[in-house]
Amino acid sequence: MTTGGTLRRRPAQRRSQERVERMLDECAGLLDEVGYEALTTKEVARRAGVPIGTFYQFFTDKQSLVRALALRNLEAYLDRMATLLADARLSDWAGAVDLGIDEFVRMKRTMPGFGVVDFGEVLAAPGGPALPGTQRMLDEALENNVIVADRLRSMTVEVLGVVPGDGLSRAFVVAVEAADAVLKLAFRAHPDGDPDLIAECKRLVRRYLSDHLR
């Protein structure tokens, strides 16, 4: 469920919650079909089976709808990562890098709309380029990757017991930015993500973080 802070009005009743989720689901499907530019609030409402007035009870416009979808994507990714890390019982953090990249790639390949909007940035295609002005979709003050990096850092400290040191927050921002760039390259090279470039992404991030997570 998307957080209430992204909505005009928090859905209190189950019926309203289901309507919001349907609108987000239809938004994701339409992003794959027509892309962000051709996405309309009217068509989202029609496909979700809700009056357009109901749409505007919860979302101010198309951008706020996509922002809510991006936040739902991020929460789904983090929830999945928490489960994977708990089940894997890793002996060190390096395996977590592979799990994180593999899960992101899986979502790119299988999750509706994720190839266009993953964690906020709106892409013309899964490999980019990004539409101008979408680097701060999750928060007006912070770039999307900064928020993602902070959540991953917190998870690494909490779940894997990594001791936070000086520069760890900055290191995670650099790692996320690097991974983001290489994975975009992988999806430009191949619709499902070039496996060799995905492997290089893992190696790059592991080697970089090794100086900060020893």
Cα atoms in the Cβ-side hemisphere of radius 13 Å centred on 177: 9
What is the widest separation between alpha-carbon atoms in the chain?
A: 55
Asked, for residue 164, whether it belongs to a domain, the answer is: yes
Residue 31's domain comprises 4-209
Asked, for residue 161, whether it belongs to a domain, the answer is: yes
Note the pLDDT of residue 192.
96
Cis peptide before 126 (omega within 30 of 0): no
- Using one digit for the tens of pLDDT, what is the confidence trace for 11-69? 657 888 899 999 999 999 999 999 999 999 999 999 999 999 999 999 999 999 999 99
**Alpha-carbon Rg for the chain in angstroms:** 18
Evaluate whether 122 touches 67 at the Cβ level (below 8 Å).
no
Asked, for residue 172, whether it belongs to a domain, the answer is: yes
Asked, for residue 201, whether it belongs to a domain, the answer is: yes
Asked, for residue 88, whether it belongs to a domain, the answer is: yes
Tokens 């979709």 -> residue: 137
Looking at the predicted structure, is the pLDDT value of residue 127 above 90?
no
Evaluate whether 60 touches 9 at the Cβ level (below 8 Å).
no
The helix or strand, by DSSP H or E, that contains position 184, with its residue range, turns out to be helix 168-189
Asked, for residue 184, whether it belongs to a domain, the answer is: yes
User: What single DSSP character describes residue 123?
Assistant: B
Q: Which residues contact 178 (CB under 8 A, 6 or more apart)?
A: 201, 204, 205, 208
- Using one digit for the tens of pLDDT, what is the confidence trace for 131-181? 999 999 999 899 999 999 999 999 988 888 887 777 999 999 999 999 999
Asked, for residue 214, whether it belongs to a domain, the answer is: no
Cα torsion 137, 83, 174, 63 to 10°: value is -10
Backbone angles phi, psi at 117, to 5 degrees: -130, 110
Asked, for residue 91, whether it belongs to a domain, the answer is: yes
The total number of structural domains in the chain stands at 1
Rounded Cα–Cα distance for residues 213 and 175 (Å) = 12
The CATH number of the domain holding residue 84 is: 1.10.357.10
